[in-house]
Amino acid sequence: MPPPDGYHHNSNEDDVNSPNSPLNFLDQNYQELHQNCLTENTLYNDELFPPDNSSIGLFDDLPPQVDMSQVVWKRPAELVSDPNLIVDGVSRFDYAQGSVLGNCWFLAAIGALTFEKDIIKQVMPAEQSFTKDYAGIFHFRFWRFGKWVDVVIDDHLPTIDDELLFVCSKTSNEFWPALLEKAYAKVCGSYADLHAGFISEALMDFTGGTHMYYTLNTAPADLWKIMECAFKSKTLIGCGSNSATTPEENELLHGIVAEHAYTVTGVFEVMSEENAVQLVRLLNPWGEEEWRGDWSDGSPAWDTVCEEVRKICHEVLNNGEFWMSMEDFTNIFENIDICCLCPDFLDDSAECHWTSKRHFGRWNAMITAGGDINETETFWINPQFRVKIDELNEECASGQRPENILVSLIQNHEKRNRNSQENFNIGFYVFEIPFEASGNKPKYEKSKRQVFVRVLH
């Protein structure tokens, strides 16, 4: 929700656009600009995100070996003889995080994105290349605070000594990671505005989906099962590691980077000496630096499973991806983010289908910001929404989680430069409304429930 500078509320305002009919970001129309370049036989130059320091932005701290005065913006054709947007498909192993920009949260989300080909096509429209109708112009699509936007960029990329300054591809002539990162930097204001963040931001911007967040030390006992079901649907999953304040604490992480974003790339259950072990597979967006504990690439634990499982799961490669037990995962990692197009998988049944509604609201500091539940005189003035849960069919009602409601809250950034936007402390309460107080029949029917969702600032 936007910050409190006036109140506006639409009770049921769903998106009017889609990935196939996005809004033009900064009023730049890709088709028109592309055609103009082809007609005039010129390469596109983006005046709204130019190849200069304004697009890089200001960094508080830089590695000592990086001299920004040495940055030269070059097109891919100036770096390699045969540039390609994609080489042999899109993979989580195509790229590695650069040493300048701390955007592991964004790159970890990209790792999750590579598993969902349909979503990739939404974010990175087809029929773009460095050969057919090439004009130095590309476009990408993101979901931003309720609206899909189409973002146009030119293909100038910042380099030092002919090496890309930020994300780099492991295949030298593949440029989709660098161009995707540039488009997202444009949306957020600059490359520097990508420094530090939460993986949930990028997961939602790639999908426009529903976000679920679990703190691992208080996660439900069946979280691994939830993750297993999620991987069978169009779901993107990432996580963040715990902090470490001393060298001793850091050593206990056994190769896990403290306060770092990772992609969750798989779950698998193995039989280890007749004991079932639930495993989680993770990817470090650095493209290296892996877990060194049990079930890591070099762990003797793999000798306790059958050869067939080892062929499926076990690889000894320094590519940043590794397995660990669910127990170690919940101890060493702090949280997990699950972003899905639809949370049907929560019921683990093909018969259960969720419906969704989106509400837009605004706080006014004096009128609608009523504080938390302890503010008894003003709490009632917070924005509130009523949700009716209709009768469930027999299949859903008998499931593990009948009558689910999932509430996700997002703050709308009104400033383009992401790091200049203050994040407010916001939250919500969910209350069940007694049926006799809901204005319906006085008789209480268990199959139908209504709840209030009260949002507070």
**What are the residue numbers of the active site?**
104, 260, 284
How many C-alpha atoms does 111 have within 13 Å on its Cβ side?
31
Burial class (CB in 10 A: 0-12, 13-18, 19+), 190: buried
Quote the CA–CA distance of 9 and 214 in Å, as a whole number: 29
H/E segment holding residue 176? helix 176-188
Three-state helix/strand/coil letters over 288-332: CCCCCCCCCCCCHHHHHCCHHHHHHHCCCCCCCEEEEEHHHHHHH
Residues β-bridged to residue 14: none
Quote the CA–CA distance of 261 and 321 in Å, as a whole number: 13
Closest CA to 129 of 171, 169, 94, 77: 77
At residue 449, the 3 state secondary structure works out as: strand
Residue length of the chain: 457
Closest CA to 40 of 157, 182, 135, 165: 135
For residue 196, give both structure tokens: 């530090």
Looking at this protein, which amino acid is placed at residue 374?
Answer: N
Quote the CA–CA distance of 109 and 119 in Å, as a whole number: 12
What are the distances in angstroms from CA 27 to CA 30, 55, 184, 292, 357? Answer: 10, 18, 16, 49, 28
Quote the CA–CA distance of 353 and 89 in Å, as a whole number: 32
Instruction: Return the CA Rg of the chain.
Output: 24
User: Across 104-258, where does the E strand assignment appear?
Assistant: 137-144, 147-154, 157-160, 163-164, 168-169, 210-215, 235-241
Helices (H), 14-133: 30-40, 53-56, 104-113, 117-123
Q: Could you tell me if 391 and 370 are in contact, meaning their C-beta atoms sit under 8 angstroms apart?
A: no
The DSSP output letter for 144 is E
Q: Could you tell me if 177 and 95 are in contact, meaning their C-beta atoms sit under 8 angstroms apart?
A: yes
Q: Could you tell me if 242 and 258 are in contact, meaning their C-beta atoms sit under 8 angstroms apart?
A: yes
For residue 270, give both structure tokens: 């193995």
Quote the CA–CA distance of 379 and 371 in Å, as a whole number: 6
For residue 249, give both structure tokens: 């604490």
The DSSP output letter for 442 is S
